[in-house]
Amino acid sequence: MADRFRVTLAQANPVMGDIAGNAAKAKAAWDEGKAAGAQLVALPEMFILGYNPQDLVQKPAVQAAALKQIEALAVECADGPALAIGGPYAEGDKLYNAYFILKGGKIASKQLKHHLPNYNVFDEVRVFDSGPLGGPYAVGNTRIGSPICEDAWYEDVAETLEESGAEFLLVPNGSPYYRDKFDRRMSHMVARVVETGLPLIYLNMVGGQDDQVFDGGSFVLNPGGHLAVQLPVFDEMIAHVDLVRGPDGWECEQGERALLPAGEEQDYRVCVEALRDYMAKTGFKKVLLGLSGGIDSAIVATIAVDALGAENVRCVMLPSEYTSQGSLDDAEDIAKRLGVHYDYVPIKEGRQAITNTLAPLFEGLDEGLTEENIQSRLRGLLLMAMSNKFGEMLLTTGNKSEVAVGYATIYGDMNGGYNPIKDMYKTRVFETCRWRNDNHRDWMAGPSGEVIPVSIIDKPPSAELRPDQKDEDSLPPYDVLDAILYMLMDEDKSVAECVEAGYDRATVKRVEHLLYISEYKRFQSAPGARLSKKAFWMDRRYPIANRYRDES
Cβ(120)–Cβ(539) below 8 Å: yes
Cβ(216)–Cβ(204) below 8 Å: yes
Annotated catalytic residue, options 25, 103, 110, 113: 113
Contacts of 263 (CB under 8 A, 6+ apart): 179, 180
CA dihedral (281, 283, 285, 286) in degrees, to 10, reads -100
Annotated catalytic residue, options 77, 149, 252, 271: 149
Diameter of the chain measured on Cα atoms = 92
Q: How far apart are CA 230 and CA 495, in angstroms?
A: 43
SS percent in the chain: helix, strand, coil, step 5: 40, 20, 40
Q: Compute how many other C-beta atoms are within 10 angstroms of the C-beta atom of residue 358.
A: 14
Q: How far apart are CA 88 and CA 51, in angstroms?
A: 11
CA-to-CA dists, residue 268 to 342, 444, 529, 547, angstroms: 24, 10, 10, 36
| Residue whose C-alpha is closest to residue 238's, from 255, 259, 250 | 255
Cβ(145)–Cβ(199) below 8 Å: no
Q: How far apart are CA 155 and CA 141, in angstroms?
A: 26
Q: How far apart are CA 65 and CA 413, in angstroms?
A: 41
| Residue whose C-alpha is closest to residue 400's, from 200, 543, 534 | 534
| Residue whose C-alpha is closest to residue 383's, from 369, 397, 404, 399 | 397
Contacts of 354 (CB under 8 A, 6+ apart): 374, 378
Beta bridge partners of 112: 98
Angle at 464 between CA 462 and CA 465, to 5 degrees: 130
Cβ(505)–Cβ(511) below 8 Å: no
Active site residue 76: no
Q: How far apart are CA 502 and CA 495, in angstroms?
A: 11
Beta strands 82-91 and 94-103 are antiparallel
Active site residue 149: yes
Active site residue 271: no
**Stretch (H or E) spanning 97:** strand 94-103
Give SS3 for 465. Answer: coil
Catalytic positions, please? 45, 113, 149
